[in-house]
């Protein structure tokens, strides 16, 4: 049920996951306190102990629920809300829009939290969703979006031009706190596979810290770690090959089990309805893990033409990352290159899915393979190109 928002939300105290981000050789751990009021909302005291990693804009993971934090809530009875009422955060993104579409098709009352933008998200309204404006970097805009909401599905992530910490850490802390204060009944959070194994990568460490913060918030939750989206391969490989442009790859043997975001949306809503999954951490992976070269070869075969491949050695990524750390204005570039370095290392981003399929009551044959996904794409796009070419020839004849 939704409840009256308290005047103040105190964040939890410390938990040490034996992981810390550092910038300068100071000694006090990160602490934070947010006050939801018209006044400036974030009072953030940041100082970082020295340690192994000298990476800018990183935070020390600290998120244990304490008596002070939970005592600040004092939630009273509120208005009951329908279990079918959900708020999708990050609804215009690659995954978010698929969550919205699937939830609407299954009869959910969907509300979409999107940032105020020059081009409104009219397609979400056209589908039948309600659109509300808020910004995770401005916590005072968040609570009103949760009134009458039962479940939050959090697909949001920062834009490439933003510091990673702004949305993916500070924004998520505010969002989870508001959800707790407003009496949200369930919270679904998307994370990254293996995020707990790479504390040197800011985005992955922040995802791991957010997982811990959510677990200790007391909210009923489901955490879903993802390996990769099939949709991302279209712009990265398929379109450049069709347009005879360079395709960027690496010499690393990394394998990623890409998954169709429509399948992710379907499995998410199944998990949402399964009470046995409350509090669990799931990992969704596609049927097979692929190297970059295997993906390029598949695209070449389906497109019927060779790719112009430019290979970037992993050593160059490492050197570039180290170089950008020397300049404050390139610190976020270094953070993102750290993620790229992991994606181009000798790592497999995949997990066996049999147990998850059984838990969700899903059969593997119903999960789209990368071959099928790309084949459908190339079949459709090549047919459209052929039709356009035919129309062009017909126009030339009449001229």
Do 141 and 190 belong to one domain? yes
Do 242 and 383 belong to one domain? yes
Query: Long-range CB contacts (< 8 A, 24+ apart) of 130-136?
Result: 131/91, 136/89, 136/167, 136/170, 136/171, 136/172, 136/174, 136/175
Considering the domain boundaries, does residue 32 fall inside one? no
Residue whose C-alpha is closest to residue 111's, from 66, 165, 154, 149: 149
CATH number of the domain enclosing 166: 3.40.50.720
Per-residue pLDDT of 184-240, as tens digits, reads 999 999 999 999 988 878 888 999 999 999 999 999 999 999 999 999 999 989 999
Do 220 and 320 belong to one domain? no
Quote the domain boundaries for residue 242: 230-258+286-349+369-394
Do 219 and 252 belong to one domain? no
Do 251 and 220 belong to one domain? no
d(CA 168, CA 61): 13
Considering the domain boundaries, does residue 34 fall inside one? no
Do 248 and 216 belong to one domain? no
10 Å Cβ neighbour count for 18? 6
Per-residue pLDDT of 48-100, as tens digits, reads 233 332 333 334 444 443 323 333 333 444 567 899 999 999 999 999 999 99
pLDDT of residue 340: 54
Predicted model pTM = 0.76
Do 211 and 317 belong to one domain? no
Tell me the sheet residues that pair with 130.
Answer: 111
Per-residue pLDDT of 143-176, as tens digits, reads 999 999 999 999 998 887 778 888 899 999 999 9
The DSSP string of 175-191 is HHHHHHHTT-SEEEEEE
Please check the confidence at residue 45 and state whether its pLDDT lies above 70. Answer: no
Per-residue pLDDT of 10-22, as tens digits, reads 333 333 333 433 3
Q: How confident is the model at residue 343 (pLDDT cuts 50, 70, 90)?
A: low
Provide the sign of the torsion angle of the four alpha carbons 155, 160, 166, 170, taken in this order. Answer: positive
pLDDT of residue 318: 52
CATH number of the domain enclosing 247: 3.90.25
């Amino acid at each position: 049920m939704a409840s009256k928002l308290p005047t103040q939300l105190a964040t939890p105290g410390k938990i040490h996951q034996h992981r810390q981000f550092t910038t300068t050789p100071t000694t006090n751990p990160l602490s934070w306190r947010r006050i939801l009021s018209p006044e400036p909302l974030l009072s953030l005291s940041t100082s970082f102990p020295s340690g192994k990693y000298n990476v800018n804009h990183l935070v020390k993971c600290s998120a244990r629920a304490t008596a002070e934090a939970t005592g600040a809530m004092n939630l009273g009875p509120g208005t009951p809300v329908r279990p079918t009422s959900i708020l999708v955060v990050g609804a215009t993104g690659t995954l978010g829009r698929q969550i919205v579409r699937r939830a609407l098709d299954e009869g959910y009352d969907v509300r979409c939290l999107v940032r105020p933008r020059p081009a409104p998200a009219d397609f979400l309204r056209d589908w039948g969703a309600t659109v509300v404006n808020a910004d995770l970097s401005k916590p005072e805009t968040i609570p009103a979006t949760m009134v009458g909401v039962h479940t939050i599905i959090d697909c949001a992530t920062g834009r490439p031009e933003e510091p990673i910490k702004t949305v993916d850490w500070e924004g998520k802390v505010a969002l989870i706190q508001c959800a707790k204060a407003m009496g949200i009944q369930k919270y679904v959070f998307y994370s990254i596979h293996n995020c707990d194994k790479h504390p040197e990568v800011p985005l992955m460490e922040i995802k791991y810290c957010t997982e811990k913060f959510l677990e200790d918030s007391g909210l009923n939750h489901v955490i879903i770690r993802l390996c990769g989206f099939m949709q991302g391969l279209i712009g990265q490989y398929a379109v450049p090959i069709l347009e005879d442009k360079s395709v960027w790859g690496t010499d690393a043997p990394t394998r990623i089990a890409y998954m169709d975001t429509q399948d992710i949306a379907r499995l998410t809503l199944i998990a949402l309805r399964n009470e046995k999954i409350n509090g669990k951490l799931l990992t969704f992976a596609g049927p097979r893990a692929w190297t970059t070269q295997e993906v390029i070869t598949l695209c070449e075969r389906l497109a019927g033409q060779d790719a112009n491949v430019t290979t970037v050695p992993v050593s160059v990524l490492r050197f570039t990352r180290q170089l950008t750390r020397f300049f404050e204005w390139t610190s976020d570039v270094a953070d993102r290159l750290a993620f790229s370095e992991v994606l181009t290392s000798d790592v497999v981003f995949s997990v066996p899915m049999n147990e998850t399929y059984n838990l969700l009551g899903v059969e593997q044959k119903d999960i789209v393979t990368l071959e099928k996904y790309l084949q459908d794409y190339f079949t459709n796009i090549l047919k459209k190109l052929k039709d356009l070419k035919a129309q062009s020839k017909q126009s030339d004849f009449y001229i």
